[in-house]
Structure formats: structure tokens, C-alpha cells
Chain A
Amino acid sequence: MLDLRRFTGREMRISDKLMEFNWGFLLLLAVISSMGFAMLYSVADGSFSPWALKQMIRFVLGAGIMVVVALVDLRLWMRISYPLYAIALVLVTAVDIVGFKGMGAQRWLNLGIIQLQPSEIMKVAILLALARYFHGLTLEEVSRVKNLIIPLLIVVVPVGLVVKQPDLGTAILLTVSGGVLFFAAGLAWRYFILGGLAILAAIPVIWERLHDYQRNRVFTFLDPERDPLGAGYHILQSKIALGSGGVFGKGFMAGTQAHLNFLPEKQTDFIFTMLCEELGFVGGLTLLAFYSVVLIYSFSVAVQCRNQFGRLLALGVSVSFFFYVFINSAMVMGLLPVVGVPLPLVSYGGTAMLSLMFAFGLLMSVYIHRNLEIARGNNAFW
């Protein structure tokens, strides 16, 4: 049936697309999110307010967005990639000028009804823009220096703005997921070696420019026992919570570290710790397994896709998702310094949930439109 459509060139109807939509994948996302709901319910000592219910509503809302985004023709997404990127850039810039500070960093934009975190939008926009750009290049063209200027700018400009906020976590995510698209597009290995060396060379400069609290996080990461009641406290308590969970955990709603407030930020950044404390090694591995399924599926979507834009976009979504999961869980386990990165789908947070579901919508759009062949030369800028 699909092959038929491909050869006839008949456009897909909405009903076709709904048929193609992978509802099982949405169910998987719902299962992962439910583990988050359960934890948020536990954090509130067995109450849906103030977190669990809100998070559920957001997920439902996000699921709606995902479906809508998925149904939009992939070519349309491709066409509006640059404008979307431009809008995101404006918003990020606006945050620098008029945004207000939350938790010591200037990240939020108050739009009256909702508080927007433009850097979240930028995470998706940057993927769209890079996928769009690399779609138009042959393998040989990708590695030409003159063709690298635009994509580098696409990455560097928002990263620079985000660093200023300061939001190091997002800056790293933007850089890394952007870099991955360069890699997947086929950029020659030598650039990555050069880039790696450049980053090494830049470390002292970056170090100079880091805020004290950021430097402290690195010190603390290197030696958490350095100051067990101060900066090292969070990571130490997180490790204690994790470790004390054991194989099967202390039981749902019975985590002492979380409920007696030894664990910081447990509804957001440290929710994985709480899950591991209450549900144990088994619970934590289950969540990681679910995440793995999401990743494997999104890889398969990327590889199956027959257009470069879709491939790159799907891979970008997948890799960003991976980095969220990895950075957050490695941080709470004491493998990485403390960075404010939420655990996707599970951590409490509106913008993160919605932008993630939006990204999964794009992934699903790639899946639905996987057999579309989009000409490389379709470079029209709107």
C-alpha cells in the first residue's frame, strides 16, 4: 500500500496519516510519563496537587500537539524551518533583554498567559534549521569549508545568547545536538578532530568566564566530599538516596531521603534519584529500558526515512532526547557535574514537556512521511 502511494505520487489524506501514526509509540511515552506522575504524586506526599495533576494535563496537551505536528506535511516543516528558527532567535534575544530571572538565571519570557522558555523552542528550531540546511548539500559539499559557515552560525549564535543567560546546560545541549547533525550529515572526520582540539584549547578561556557557582559545581563534581554540607551536599544526598534504594527500593512514597527533604529539587532535576530510591534498581532500570526503546525506535525512524531532511530531523530529536536522559541521570549518579537538565517526560516542567512532545510530533511526522522523496535542490526560502 505504501509502495503504491509512492509510485502514484498521490498525496496522503489525513485519515491515511492517522493510520500511519504510531499510536504504540505515544502509549510508550504515556507509560514513561506515568512513572513521572507517580513520582510527582509521591513527592507531594500522596497528592495530585501541586504537581502530578498539572503534569498530566501538560502531557495530554503535549500529546495533542504531537498529533497535530505529526500530521503536518514534512515538506511544510521543511519550508518553515528557517522562519521558525528566526522567530526562536528573536525570542531568545528578547529573553536577554526583557526576560525575568528564575532560580538565579534569566531564562523566562512572560507572555502574559504563559511563561515561555525560548531556549526550549530553540532546541527544536536549531534541529529544523540544520536539517533543512544539510538537506540541500551532497556528501561532498558538506565537507567544504564555505558550506560550514551558515550551519556554524545557526549553532553559535543561539548558543552564545543562551550562555549569557546563563544557561550552561542548554548551551551544551544545543552545541552537542547541533554537532551530531553535522556528524550525521557526513561532515569529514578531520573537522571533528579539529573541533575537539579547538574545544580543548578553549577550556581555559571558558573556565575564566564561568560564574563562580558554575566553577563550584565542577569542583564539587570532582570531589563531592570537599564540602559535604555546602556545594557537595546535593550530589552526596542524591547518591545516598540512590544507593539506599537497593534492589527493590524503599517502596512507593516511602523514600526517606526524598520525603525528609534531604534530596533537593526532587520534583525536577533529581526526580530520577527519587524514583531509584523508592522503586530501587529495578525501577530505575525499567525507566532506562523504556527510554532505550524510545531511542531505538527513533533511530529506526531516521534510518527508514527516504529524505535527508527527515533523517536528520529524526536523528536530531532522538539524540537531543538521549542527551537529556544521559546528562540528567549521569548527574544524579555523580558521573557529571550538576547541570540544570530535566529528565525528559518525567521531571516536572511545562515548557520542557511541551517542546519535547512537539519534537516527538516532528519525529512522528518524519515517520508518517518517511517515503516522501524531497528533492535536494528544493531550497526555496520563504
Chain B
Amino acid sequence: MQIDGRDSSRYQAFTRRTLVLGGAQAAAFVVLAGRMYYLQILKSDEYQMLAEENRINVRLLAPLRGRIVDRYGSVLASNRQNYRAVLVAEQTPNIGETLDRLSRIVAITPFDRKKIMRDIDRSPRFMPVTVAEDLTWEQFAQVNINEPDLAGVQPDVGETRYYPYAMELAHVVGYVGPVSDKEMEDADDEQPLLKLPGFRIGKSGIEKTFDQDLRGIAGATHVEVNAYGRVIRELSKDQGKPGAEIVLTLDMEIQKFACERLKEESASAVVMDIHSGDILSFVSTPAFDPNEFNMGLSQDQWKMLVDNPYKPLTNKAIAGLYPPGSTFKTMTAIAALEAGVDPNHTVGCNGKYALGNHLFHCWKKEGHGAMNMHDGLKHSCDVYFYDLAKRIGIDAIEKVAKRFGLGETYDLEIPGEKKGIVPSRDWKRATTGVSWQQGETLITGIGQGFLLTSPLQLAVMASRLANGGYAVKPHLTRAVGGQLLPKPEAPRMDVDPEHLKIVQGGMNGVSNEPGGTAYRARITEVGMELAGKTGSAQVRRISMAERDSGVRKNDTLEWRLRDHALFICFAPVADPKYAMALVIEHGGSGSGAAAPAARDIMLEVQKRNLARPQAYMPRGDVKEA
């Protein structure tokens, strides 16, 4: 054996060190196996959960917003398909360029562009932001075809709110709009729905008040996605629950008719069922198109609405406050009767009424001659009511006015009701610091002065006069989610039915007796006659000089100085069912402008309900009590 001694020593060293290496490697493998044991066995559950979270994406499905229908089931607000394009910011290298390309298919104005950039800045980079809505089918197809060139742009079909009777119902139904930052913050607990792109919530009217009912319950799909977020397959789907249907008390046919009748004016009208308080028609003209609000108004559109002197954004039926004018004489009459004034009490009218050294004028300069209560109402003689007011005092008038619903709100289902003013001694002292003057009692007696009322309040007043003394309250909804709402209580008022009969008789005189202020605007159809009361609310001061030279006629004045034209009425006279208040801003006179319009509408109301007595049975599966 020729073993090299030195070689043998290095062989031994090699073998020793090889063993060291082998040991180290074995240790390393133990570490690897241990790590695998830790990850795959000890932590397996945790990682399985994470893997599932990776894989499964929960996507919210916006529930279909509930419909809003009128009392006969006509659709007032529904949903329609909206072809749109959404942009995911993180999927495009250059947002500006992508928008440029998209604008070759769909017009994108600089205004839109600014809005889009703002939306993108506000939302996370992976959130789709709507860049174009309401695309035509052709545009939508083009977006689809050109998708590869439009990095980050995805075609999308959404549901959008649609109001078939846009202008007619803007102030009742309201509109929906995107969720604002503030609304997002205010939203209680978890409201993931609000974060869905393009989700709309009620911003005004019924849409706002019943937003939670209309919204429904969000559904969700569980989808398997890959690392890039692309959906591989759908695992499960929960459709959610569509929003509840809201049935209104309105009759759309009456509403349309009334809107058409008043469309040239800055006017409002409320038609009520005097027994149930159902509001059959609720008009405020001019209005706006809620569909445009839904899509987002341009600055110009907004400016036009705000600058319009007819104030289309104001819901005049509840937020428009007007002196009731002579319509208020019904209240003065009731108050006088309650104070013991005999209905046959007679006052001679020579056109003016002196209180101390101050002269109060009747609208008829030459005077009405001898007037009792019936004639006073029929001719709307100011002097007669000056006399009554002076006799009974402001306290009596205030009490009756408040009992009949003036100066209060009724928790109507839409926001924005105003209280108006029924003046009293305390009220005046509190607001002006000056004590009540007797002259103020006189002008309050004819519905001027501090008095301010909304058309809705006047309609309530007319209803309570007509229904025999029940404190009926107005309301707009019949059913929510398939369940009829209980009728609001209408307790008996503390009023003598005889007194009501006298006033009703006076109102009948106004409309149906020759010489009545609204005789020319009477209903001639037998059985449908209305009884009313005109009112012309002065909005300017008439100077002494003008009185001497003759009060200027309304049509010679510029629009904003003309009197408001008011009319309250109920029908049919024989067995009242409906009441109405109608106000035409700066319409001139109650008898000339308001009464004819009211007559036409009231006639239509009666014809309509004879033709279609059957109310709509609300749909919906929610039947639990």
C-alpha cells in the first residue's frame, strides 16, 4: 500500500470537515422542515383564511331603488338603465390622455373634466369613478370596442333614477344625487352602500324623507378574482332586497292638469281631501327637472335656476309665505260669530273706515253700502271686517286662526314647511318690542299686516271650514312598502257647526251668487259647484297721494309690485269633499287670476274622481303589521 502520509493527514482533515459540513447541512434542513411545519401545520388555518380573502372578493350590489307611484299606481319615480363609462385611476398610466381618447367617443366638457378629476382625487385609486353617463347605445358599443385603447375605462350598466313627470313633481318627489362628503361622514354605522360608485341618495322631497325605505338592502356577489382583480367566476350571489315602494296620495292626472293650468305663472296650489287629509295635488310652478339634478347640473344651469325671479327652486306650496288677504276674512267671521256678533249685524260701507285720525280703505273706493256678514264675505267688503275686527280684538282672531291650522307646520312628509305668522300681542312685543296697535287688528282682520301663510296652510284652513270642524292634517303618503299608512287623526275642533254653515254660505255667495267676487269663475256643472273666497294680498304700500289720484291698476305695475292673487275653495257645495288653496304670485287679483284657475282645477278634480273611484292597491310583499 503506497499511502502518502501527508496525503493521509489531509484526507483525515477532509473527512472531519466534511462531517462538520454535513452536520451543518442537516441542521439547515431541520430548520427548513421546522419552518414548513410552522407555516403549513401550526399556522395553516390563518394562512388558509388569508388565501380565501385573497381569492374571494365581495362586491356589493346596489339594490334597486323603490318606486314612487301616485294613488292610482302611475309611476312617478322609477329606475332605468344607464349606460356609462367608469374609470379606474390605477389602471391607466395617464388619466388625461385616457380622457382625451374617450372624448372622441363621448363629449367631455372642461366642466365634466374638472368634476372627474375631483372625483378621482377624492376616491381611492382602485375605485371606479364615473366619467360618462347616459351614453347612447352606439356610444356604449364604441366604448366597448375601444376598451383596449382606453386604459382604465370600463363600460358599465347602472340603474339611474328616472322621473317621467319631471317638472310636475320636482317639489313633491324631489330628486336623488351623489352622496356628499358630509353625508358620508354623517351616515351612521356601516353604510358600505354609500361608497358604491354612482350611488345616489335622496336629496329632497319624498326621495329624501323616505330615503331609507326607498334604498332597500344591498346584495352582494362573492366572486373569485385573480391577483389583478379580474373576476374568474362567481361563487354566490345575494340579490339583496329592492327598496320599498312609496304610494303617494297624489292623483297624477290632477297634478298634470293643475301644473299645465299654472305653468305660465309663479304659483302654487294644494288640493286636499277634506276628510282624510290626502293631498291630491301639490303644485309649485315653475319647477326644475330633477333628472338633471340626478346627473349633476352645470354651473350655467344652476345659475339660471337661482337667478330666475319666479324662484323655481322654492317649494312655494309649503315654503312660500303670503299674506292671506281676504281669504282670511273667513277666520275673522268665525271669530266674530264666536264672540257673539250676530250674522245679521250690519255695517254701512262708504269705502273708508276711520280709526282715530287714521283712515282705512275698502278695496271698493265708492263703498259697498249696507253689509251683513253674508254680503261682507260675498263682496269681500274690507270695511265690514274692519268693524268686526275692531269689535272682537286681535286675541279672538288669533285663537281662531291658529285653531284652523295657520301659523303651524303639519309634519308633512317633505322637508321645508314654513310656519308663517299669526300675529298676537305677545308675538309683536317679543319680535318688535312695541305693543300691539288697534290699527293692526283692523288690517289683520282683512288678512294683511303681519299675517303670513303658506298655500298648504290655506288649504288646511279651507278643509277645516268645509269638513264641519275636524282638525284634519295634510299628508302625502298612502303606503310604504306595501303597507297602508294609518289615517292621521282628525279630532273634532272646538267650533260651532252653525258658525261654519254661515261662513260656508258666505263662500257660496262669493262663487255662486251674482255679485260675488268669484261669480264669474263659478262652476256651472250641476252638483260640482264650488264655494270659495278670493284674496288679493297687497305687497306694496299705497300712498295718500295715490289714493287721491286713484289707486293704480295691477296691470300697470311691474310684476313684482302687483298683488298676490289668492283663492281658497271647497267643492261640491252640497256635500263638500275637496278643498283647495291657490296662490298666484303677483297675479293681480284673486277674483281675476286665482279664482278661474282654481275653478278649472276643482272641476277636473271632481270629474276625475267620478271617473276613477278605485284607489291603487299598493304592491309589495311586506305585509307584517
Contact = CB atoms under 8 A, between A and B. Distances in A.
A240 B50 contact: yes
Contact of B36 (A139, A142, A281, A376): A281
Given A299-B18, A311-B14, A319-B21, A257 B51 contact: yes
B25 A242 contact: no
Contact of A183 (B17, B33, B228): B17
A333 interface: yes
Nearest to B4: A376
A23 B593 CA distance: 113
B355 interface: no
Contacts of B17: 183-184, 186
A24 to B, nearest CB: 21
A187 to B, nearest CB: 9
Given A183-B17, A256-B55, A281 B40 contact: yes
Interface stretch (A156-164, A244-252, A350-358): A244-252
Contact of A276 (B13, B31, B36): B36
A295 interface: yes
Contacts of B114: none
B108 interface: no
B21 A280 contact: no
B32 A333 contact: yes
Contact of B226 (A139, A243, A260, A315): A260
Interface string B1-26: 01010110111011101100110010
Contacts of B622: none
B232 interface: yes
Nearest to A292: B29
Interface string A303-343: 10000100110010001001000100110011100000000
A171 to B, nearest CB: 20
A138 B10 contact: yes
Nearest to A249: B40
Interface in A274-294: 276, 280-281, 284-285, 288, 291-292
Contacts of A296: 22
A63 interface: no
A75 interface: no
A370 interface: no
A92 interface: no
Contacts of A138: 6-7, 9-10
Nearest to A295: B25
A261 B228 contact: yes
A241 interface: yes
B18 A302 contact: yes
A121 to B, nearest CB: 24
A262 B227 contact: yes
The secondary structure that dominates the B interface is: helix
Interface residues on B, range: 35 or more
Instruction: From A180, A184, A288, A303, name the one whose CB has the most chain B CB atoms within 10 angstroms.
Output: A184
Interface string A128-145: 000000000011101000
B33 A246 contact: no
A319 B28 CA distance: 12
B40 A376 contact: no
Nearest to B5: A138
Contacts of B10: 138-139, 142, 185-186, 308
Interface string B263-304: 000000000000000000000000000000000000000000
B36 A242 contact: yes
Nearest to B50: A240
Interface in B12-68: 13-15, 17-18, 21-22, 25, 28-29, 31-33, 35-37, 39-41, 43-44, 46-48, 50-51, 54-55
Contacts of B18: 184, 299, 302-303, 315
A139 B7 CA distance: 8
A183 B21 contact: yes
B14 A308 contact: yes
Instruction: From A140, A244, A295, A311, name the one whose CB has the most chain B CB atoms within 10 angstroms.
Output: A244
A308 B7 contact: yes
Nearest to B15: A303
Contact of A139 (B6, B224, B227, B232): B6
B225 interface: yes
Contact of B33 (A239, A260, A261, A288): A288
A260 B54 contact: yes
A291 B25 CA distance: 11
B21 A260 contact: no
Contacts of B47: 239-244
Given A240-B50, A308-B7, A184 B40 contact: no
Interface string A145-182: 00000000000000000000000000000000000100
A333 B35 contact: yes
Contacts of B44: 243-247
A256 B7 contact: no
Nearest to B54: A262
B40 A246 contact: yes
B14 A184 contact: yes
Contacts of B11: 308, 311
Contact of B21 (A184, A186, A281, A376): A184
Contacts of B232: 260
B46 A243 contact: yes
Nearest to B25: A322
A332 B284 CA distance: 71
29 contacts: A138-B9, A139-B10, A186-B17, A237-B54, A239-B47, A243-B47, A243-B51, A244-B47, A244-B50, A244-B51, A247-B40, A256-B54, A260-B224, A261-B226, A262-B55, A262-B227, A276-B36, A281-B40, A288-B29, A291-B29, A302-B14, A302-B18, A303-B14, A315-B18, A322-B25, A326-B25, A326-B32, A329-B32, A376-B4
| Among all A-B residue pairs, the 10 with the closest Cβ atoms | A243-B47, A244-B51, A186-B13, A261-B227, A139-B10, A260-B226, A281-B40, A246-B44, A243-B39, A244-B48
Interface of B: 2, 4, 6-7, 9-11, 13-15, 17-18, 21-22, 25, 28-29, 31-33, 35-37, 39-41, 43-44, 46-48, 50-51, 54-55, 224-228, 232
Given A180-B21, A242-B39, 4 more contacts: A186-B10, A243-B43, A260-B54, A308-B11
